A and B are shown apart, each in its own frame.
Chain A
Amino acid sequence: MQFALLIYESADAFASRKSDGADTYTGAWRAYHKALVEAGVFVGGDPLEVPETGTTVRIKEGKQGVQDGPYADTKEQLGGFTILELPSLDAALEWAARCPAAAYGAVEVRPLAPDTKRRIVE
């Protein structure tokens, strides 16, 4: 089954991305990605641009509203996602614990919803 690891990062973590790629942030992520691929569990995923680049659209009572930035105002923001093919939630939690963001932010593990998807794409 497939799981999404949703990566939550603080403003500091987002800021540390700007460096040249020789930093520990990038090094840890590069190694983690390599380990996922080598273990044959990586399905897909991407980092997201910093939260300030987001724009949120909502339509309420027929009126559309557009807002700068992400909707939620919390300390940690969604910074990326990774989709993994794994036999169980236990295995997914193990990979989440190895994720660099588990140490400096938070990693939420969510199963994908293939049944819902099937109903939508049919």
Chain B
Amino acid sequence: MTESEQENARRIVERVARESYGRLVAYLSVHTRDLAGAEDALSDALVKALTVWPRDGVPQNPEAWLLTTARHSLIDFFRHQRVVSESEPDLLLLTRNTTEANVETNYPDERLKLLFVCAHPAIDPAMHTLLMLQTVLGLDAVRIASAFLVSPKTMGQRLVRAKTKIRDGGIRFEVPEQRQLPQRLEAVLEAIYAAFGIGWDDMAGADQRGRGLAEEAIWLARVLLQLVPAEPEVQGLLALMLHCEARRAARRGRDGHYVPLSEQDPKLWSLPLIEEAEHHLAEASKRGRPGPFQLEAAIQSVHAERARSGRIEWSAVVQFYAHLIRISPSIGRRAGYAAALAEADGPEQGLAVLDTISPDAVSSYQPYWAVRAHLLQRLGRTPEASEAYDRAIGLAEDPAIREFLLRKRG
């Protein structure tokens, strides 16, 4: 095999790992409920592929090859552990059709069950996103730890604990009944959106943490949409993320400085992504079941409209925020509502909304202080504005936002 053929084989291993990881882990763990075991078996298979494929050529069906190899290593593990008696049914399932030729190319897609397991109510909500990123997307603990600002060692331990709980805690790999579906789905959507938020915050790519996480989250939402096409909130979430993603290029100036949404050049927005977002939002709203993600997407849609009309319909943004707050009044939504109301009805109105939020709740919530500073500055209350700017600057993680606020503070 030539060097370029070897390089090609390596690329195929990477691509199959990227595209099939979650599907393979889901299938390998659905009966055993042993996520860590399935991941270990799959990573063994991937390591083997890296030596075998460049030497013997890439198999006709790379995914089936990986599945067969991973299954064999799982079976070896079971035998080694001498737990055959209790795991007999699992072992039978795994040994069935173990020759590569027999592996059905369209083995069942169990990723939906896996997504629901990751966001199961018995699992700490803080772990939902992390489990998904690792088991469905195959991200390693070090990368997840960097993105979520946790020490890599701690992150590894938390993931192991969560997986042990899934294996031993009687959490079933199943799609919830229709009756429970909307509520259970909410946790899955929240977890995907959290991954997007992390990836979004560091969109500048100034550092390594979280790079590409926004794309991964969009990919997860697309997978979810294929699996549950009739749930409008899934499309709402996808539309929301696509709208934000469409503005990636416009969020930074040429020298890397931060550009706020209302000052972005719409010519830099991605029209195809906006159109796709609008398509999903329209499809979702046809079902007549609005929800938080559809409303968030609708707000982004109003902003996107500026590309055509040249103006922002702030009264519509206010309406959507008011609806969101009725569903659940998070601090972020109230701060967003205040900012929109200030644009629609004047800064006094916005400030009045901010004043209803308890100071304890915002002592380290950066966006609140940024909005407050902006509104105080518009009202000419300079000393108070400077104080609020300081709080916003001191709480900022993104150096570009810090510099933007330092400039505005003056």
Q: Is B393 an interface residue (CB 8 A)?
A: yes
B151 and A36 contact, CB distance less than 8 A:
no
How far apart are the CA atoms of A103 and B207 in the complex, in Å?
Answer: 9
How far apart are the CA atoms of A36 and B393 in the complex, in Å?
Answer: 11
Q: Is A73 an interface residue (CB 8 A)?
A: no
How far apart are the CA atoms of A27 and B206 in the complex, in Å?
Answer: 21
Nearest chain B residue, comparing its CB with the CB of A103 = B399
Please give, as numbers and ranges, the residues of chain B lying within 8 Å of A104 by CB-CB distance.
Answer: 399
Nearest chain B residue, comparing its CB with the CB of A36 = B394
Q: Mark B355-391, 1 if CB is under 8 A from A, else 0.
A: 0000000011000000000000000000000000111
Q: Is the interface of A mostly helix, strand, loop or mixed?
A: helix
Please give, as numbers and ranges, the residues of chain B lying within 8 Å of A24 by CB-CB distance.
Answer: 403, 406
Q: Is B154 an interface residue (CB 8 A)?
A: yes
A34 and B149 contact, CB distance less than 8 A:
no
Q: Is B409 an interface residue (CB 8 A)?
A: yes
Q: Is A69 an interface residue (CB 8 A)?
A: no
**Contacts A24-B406, A39-B363, A103-B399 hold; do A31 and B391 have CB atoms under 8 A apart?**
yes
A89 and B154 contact, CB distance less than 8 A:
yes
A32 and B394 contact, CB distance less than 8 A:
yes
Please give, as numbers and ranges, the residues of chain A lying within 8 Å of B409 by CB-CB distance.
Answer: 27
Q: Is B150 an interface residue (CB 8 A)?
A: yes
A40 and B363 contact, CB distance less than 8 A:
yes
B402 and A100 contact, CB distance less than 8 A:
yes
Nearest chain A residue, comparing its CB with the CB of B386 = A31
A98 and B150 contact, CB distance less than 8 A:
no
A101 to chain B, nearest CB (A): 11
The number of chain A residues with a CB under 8 A from chain B is 23
Selected from A28, A35, A89, A90, the residue in CB contact (under 8 A) with B391 is: A35
Q: Mark B389-410, 1 if CB is under 8 A from A, else 0.
A: 1111111110100110010010
Please give, as numbers and ranges, the residues of chain A lying within 8 Å of B390 by CB-CB distance.
Answer: 30-31, 34-35
**Contacts A24-B406, A39-B363, A90-B149 hold; do A34 and B394 have CB atoms under 8 A apart?**
yes
How far apart are the CA atoms of A28 and B393 in the complex, in Å?
Answer: 7
Please give, as numbers and ranges, the residues of chain B lying within 8 Å of A28 by CB-CB distance.
Answer: 393, 402, 406
Nearest chain B residue, comparing its CB with the CB of A40 = B363
A47 to chain B, nearest CB (A): 16
Q: Is A33 an interface residue (CB 8 A)?
A: yes
Q: Mark B48-73, 1 if CB is under 8 A from A, else 0.
A: 00000000000000000000000000
A38 and B393 contact, CB distance less than 8 A:
no
Q: Is A93 an interface residue (CB 8 A)?
A: yes
B149 and A31 contact, CB distance less than 8 A:
no
A98 and B406 contact, CB distance less than 8 A:
no
A34 and B406 contact, CB distance less than 8 A:
no
Nearest chain B residue, comparing its CB with the CB of A96 = B149
Q: Is A94 an interface residue (CB 8 A)?
A: yes
Q: Is A97 an interface residue (CB 8 A)?
A: yes
B406 and A33 contact, CB distance less than 8 A:
no
Please give, as numbers and ranges, the residues of chain A lying within 8 Å of B391 by CB-CB distance.
Answer: 31, 34-35, 38
Selected from B206, B389, B397, the residue in CB contact (under 8 A) with A98 is: B397
A32 and B397 contact, CB distance less than 8 A:
no
Best-buried of A31, A40, A98, A102 by chain B (most CB within 10 Å): A31
How far apart are the CA atoms of A32 and B391 in the complex, in Å?
Answer: 7
Selected from B151, B154, B364, B393, the residue in CB contact (under 8 A) with A39 is: B364
Selected from A36, A38, A94, the residue in CB contact (under 8 A) with B149 is: A94
A35 and B364 contact, CB distance less than 8 A:
yes
How far apart are the CA atoms of A27 and B216 in the complex, in Å?
Answer: 36
Best-buried of A35, A93, A104 by chain B (most CB within 10 Å): A35
Q: Mark A29-53, 1 if CB is under 8 A from B, else 0.
A: 0111111101110000000000000
Within B98-155, the residues touching A (CB, 8 Å) are 149-151, 154
Selected from B151, B206, B364, B394, the residue in CB contact (under 8 A) with A89 is: B151
Q: Mark A8-41, 1 if CB is under 8 A from B, else 0.
A: 0000000000000000100110111111101110
Within A38-75, the residues touching B (CB, 8 Å) are 38-40
Q: Mark B141-174, 1 if CB is under 8 A from A, else 0.
A: 0000000011100100000000000000000000
How far apart are the CA atoms of A100 and B403 in the complex, in Å?
Answer: 10
Q: What would 24 A/B residue contacts be, using CB atoms closer than 8 Å?
A: A24-B403, A28-B406, A30-B390, A31-B391, A31-B392, A31-B393, A31-B402, A32-B394, A35-B364, A35-B393, A36-B394, A39-B363, A40-B363, A89-B150, A89-B151, A89-B154, A93-B149, A93-B151, A94-B149, A97-B149, A98-B394, A98-B397, A103-B206, A103-B399
> 4 more A-B contacts (CB under 8 A) besides A24-B403, A98-B394, A98-B397?
A31-B402, A33-B394, A34-B390, A35-B391
Residues of B at under 8 Å CB distance from A? 149-151, 154, 206, 363-364, 389-397, 399, 402-403, 406, 409
